[in-house]
Amino acid sequence: MQWCTLVLVVVFLVSHASCIRYEPNWSSIDSRPLPGWYDDVKLGIFIHWGVFSVPSYSPKRISEWFWWWWKGENLQPYIDFMDKNYKPGFTYADFAPQLTAEFFDANHWAEVFEASGSEYVVFTAKHHEGYTNWPSKYSFSWNSMAVGPHRDMVGELAVAIKNTSMHFGLYHSLYEWFNPLYLQDKANNYTTTEFVDRKTLPELYEIVNKYQPEVIWSDGEWEANSSYWKATEFLAWLYNDSPVKDTVVTNDRWGKDARCHHGGYLTCADRYQPGTLQKKKWENAMTIDSNSWGFRRNAILSDYLSTHTLIATFVETVSCGGNMLMNVGPTKEGFINPIFEERLREFGEWMKVNSDAIKGTRPWKAQNDTINSNVWYTMKGNNVYAIVLEWPQGGTLILGSPNPSISTAINLLGYPDKFQYSTRPTGGIAVKIPRIPKNKLPGKWAWTFVITGLIN
Ligand SMILES: *[C@@H]1O[C@H](CO)[C@@H](O)[C@H](O)[C@H]1NC(C)=O
Ligand SMILES: *[C@@H]1O[C@H](CO)[C@@H](O)[C@H](O)[C@H]1NC(C)=O
Ligand SMILES: *[C@@H]1O[C@H](CO)[C@@H](O)[C@H](O)[C@H]1NC(C)=O
Ligand SMILES: *[C@@H]1O[C@H](CO)[C@@H](O)[C@H](O)[C@H]1NC(C)=O
Ligand SMILES: *[C@@H]1O[C@H](CO)[C@@H](O)[C@H](O)[C@H]1NC(C)=O
């Protein structure tokens, strides 16, 4: 191509791209193609950290809702916990000075997250308690610079994550349980929008302009409509004019009419795992502590999902077209406990061997195998990946879904030799599994057979 042709093509692409303007309505917002990086990366890390990380207590229940369980629902275990351990009159706000973050090292967090094989990170900029992990102009005295760490947590983490190959994202709660402005709008049946105009929207614009996140993970939307939240107005700006307009992705939690219907990708419910192929891109946001997003000092070992369960959940998610956002709850000191760190590093060990079957893949024709319930499929180019969650016993792996041709070949990721197979008269294939000593197996937890030359 001659240089002048190239210039013309570039000029055309640039002018064409800038012609697309999104309108503040759902049909226009929903027509935006999801930026490609998101579907390729598959794995992200979610981090829940805020004033709730100080009590970091909850019996088999999400701990980041501590304030609500205590003062919104008046649940007995939380009242007892406070009576037993704190002076009378101690308020939730009194926890904030103890959010010390003295061990917070954003580069260390980044290193641990990257070691898991994750390619994006989503940090709670603000949870339902309203405390902002950045020095917000709109959260006077209830932010991480004014009280607690006296640091810009979002800013430090943004710098550290952007210094890796990972994408940086922010979680943001639209509503705040006890904000008087919000409660007034609610009392007015959402016919007024004081809270949205003076709090929610200003801080959303503030975090985007200041930290340029490539994920906006919205939440706390469910009591009101997206029209109350002025969500499509914000998203039109985000997609048309913001500093991240070309790369940012958002979720679906933008109003009670929006979740599971509108926005960027769908999150539907927490720990969403439909088990079947979905038409629209979706994400399974889930937790390593099976009970909670925020840290719980009273969690016991069995509350934490095993590495095998985490990988099995992930493999099913990716097969069905989803991404997985795996949550870690650091301590009030800003520290990632070794139990989380171990899970993440083991996950990364698995990804090192198996990432060909994950990164940049797309769902195959079949998601799980028709015969073998321990097998999930992905594909990329001519490769079909059969990820097996249990090492096949008895010298044979039966797969019902693949339809082989004469040129079909099978090998195992991380293993040098090809595998023999035979076509089953009733459909599918039987792969001959040689005796491989345990220490010669490529990794633990799950294994990937790469199948080429299939007819289907
Ligand atoms: C929504 O925006 C589209 C542009 O994509 C426009 O054609 C349509 O009229 C708008 N719909 C409403 C209900 O405003
Ligand atoms: C970026 O990461 C490297 C290690 O990969 C580290 O040495 C350096 O200090 C980091 N830079 C910043 C600004 O954190
Ligand atoms: C809000 O709606 C409820 C139920 O529809 C009604 O009883 C109440 O009067 C309304 N309040 C206001 C301030 O409009
Ligand atoms: C929310 O939206 C639905 C559907 O658009 C509408 O029927 C309902 O009246 C709206 N409610 C409020 C409080 O705006
Ligand atoms: C495959 O998944 C579907 C949906 O979860 C389930 O109904 C079916 O039983 C699964 N098949 C096998 C063989 O496990």
Range in 4-13, 125-134, 142-151, 369-378 with the lowest mean pLDDT:
4-13
Query: In this structure, is residue 1 part of a structural domain?
Result: no
Task: Tell me what the mean pLDDT of segment 385-391 comes to.
Answer: 97
Give Cα 434 to chain centroid, integer Å.
Answer: 38
Say how many residues make up the chain: 456
Average pLDDT over all residues of the chain? 96
Ligand 1 touching residue 23 (CB < 6 A): yes
Q: What is the pLDDT of residue 157?
A: 99
In the chain, the number of structural domains is 2
Ligand 1 touching residue 426 (CB < 6 A): no
Q: What is the pLDDT of residue 118?
A: 98
My answer on whether 167 and 207 are in the same domain is yes
Q: How confident is the model at residue 222 (pLDDT cuts 50, 70, 90)?
A: very high
Ligand 3 touching residue 188 (CB < 6 A): yes
Q: What is the pLDDT of residue 37?
A: 98
Q: What is the pLDDT of residue 379?
A: 98
My answer on whether 96 and 217 are in the same domain is yes
Give Cα 390 to chain centroid, integer Å.
Answer: 26
- CATH at residue 222: 3.20.20.80
My answer on whether 59 and 163 are in the same domain is yes
My answer on whether 330 and 426 are in the same domain is no
Query: In this structure, is residue 448 part of a structural domain?
Result: yes
Q: What gap in Å lies between CA 160 and CA 156, rounded to an integer? A: 6
| Final residue of a structural domain among 305, 331, 357 | 357
Pocket test for ligand 3, best of 189, 223, 228 (most atoms within 8 A of CB): 189
My answer on whether 433 and 316 are in the same domain is no
The string of pLDDT tens digits covering residues 286-330 is 999 999 999 999 999 999 999 999 999 999 999 999 999 999 999
**CA of 227 relative to ligand 4 center, distance in Å:** 8
In order of 126, 234, 265, 379, 444, the CA distances from 217 in angstroms are 11, 13, 10, 28, 32
Q: What is the pLDDT of residue 20?
A: 87
**CA of 397 relative to ligand 5 center, distance in Å:** 18
My answer on whether 426 and 335 are in the same domain is no
The string of pLDDT tens digits covering residues 403-436 is 999 999 999 999 999 999 999 999 999 999 999 9
Q: What gap in Å lies between CA 265 and CA 263, rounded to an integer? A: 6
Ligand 3 touching residue 76 (CB < 6 A): no
Determine the structural domain holding residue 423 and report its residue range. 375-454
Q: Which of 382, 387, 385, 399 is nearest to 453 (CA)?
A: 382
My answer on whether 176 and 129 are in the same domain is yes
Query: In this structure, is residue 211 part of a structural domain?
Result: yes
Q: What is the pLDDT of residue 438?
A: 87
Ligand 4 touching residue 225 (CB < 6 A): yes
Ligand 2 touching residue 146 (CB < 6 A): no
The string of pLDDT tens digits covering residues 343-364 is 999 999 999 999 999 999 999 9
My answer on whether 307 and 416 are in the same domain is no
The string of pLDDT tens digits covering residues 322-339 is 999 999 999 999 999 999
Task: Tell me what the mean pLDDT of segment 182-186 comes to.
Answer: 98
Query: In this structure, is residue 367 part of a structural domain?
Result: no
Any idea which ligand is nearest the CA of 29? 1
In order of 49, 99, 240, 265, 346, the CA distances from 39 in angstroms are 26, 35, 21, 10, 23
Q: What is the pLDDT of residue 12?
A: 53
Closest residue by CA, ligand 2 atom 7: 107
Query: In this structure, is residue 421 part of a structural domain?
Result: yes
- CATH at residue 404: 2.60.40.1180
Judged against a pLDDT cut of 70, whether residue 11 lies above it is answered with no
